[in-house]
Amino acid sequence: MSIIAWVVVGLIAGWLAGTIMGGRRGLLGNVVLGVIGALVGGFVGSALFGWDVTGFNVSTILLATVGAIVFVAILRAIPGAQPLE
């Protein structure tokens, strides 16, 4: 994927994860959260199910959103960590 596609997927996935998990991150925070979510979701999806982040499509956005939700949940579970709010 191109960098523009990563940013757009990150924006959408970060916004969806922020809506589901709550918190205010702003535009840049949502993009960063979504890109990290795509990395986490791509790694976990590939390792467990053979799924991959292949391009700008619905399955990539859903995988990135799930990865972002997992990332936020892990951060919130760490005592003393900033909850990305």
**Nearest alpha-carbon partner for 35 in 49, 43, 85, 82:** 43
Residue 85 lies in a domain: no
Mean pLDDT, range 3-7, rounded to an integer: 77
Residue 83 lies in a domain: no
Residue 12 lies in a domain: yes
Question: Above 70 in pLDDT, residue 79?
Answer: yes
8-state DSSP, 57: S
Residue 29 lies in a domain: yes
Domain hosting residue 22, numbered range: 3-76
Residue 67 lies in a domain: yes
21-26 CB contacts, 8 Å cutoff, 24+ apart: 21/69, 21/72, 21/73, 22/85, 23/72, 23/83, 23/84, 23/85, 24/85, 25/84, 25/85
Number of domains observed in the structure of the chain: 1
CA distances from 15 to 47, 55, 64, 79, 82 (A): 25, 18, 11, 25, 19
Residue 39 lies in a domain: yes
Residue 65 lies in a domain: yes
8-state DSSP, 55: S
Query: Model confidence at 45, in pLDDT bands (50, 70, 90)?
Result: confident
pLDDT value of residue 85: 54
| pLDDT tens digits, one per residue of 12-40 | 888 888 888 877 677 777 777 777 887 88
Question: Above 80 in pLDDT, residue 84?
Answer: no
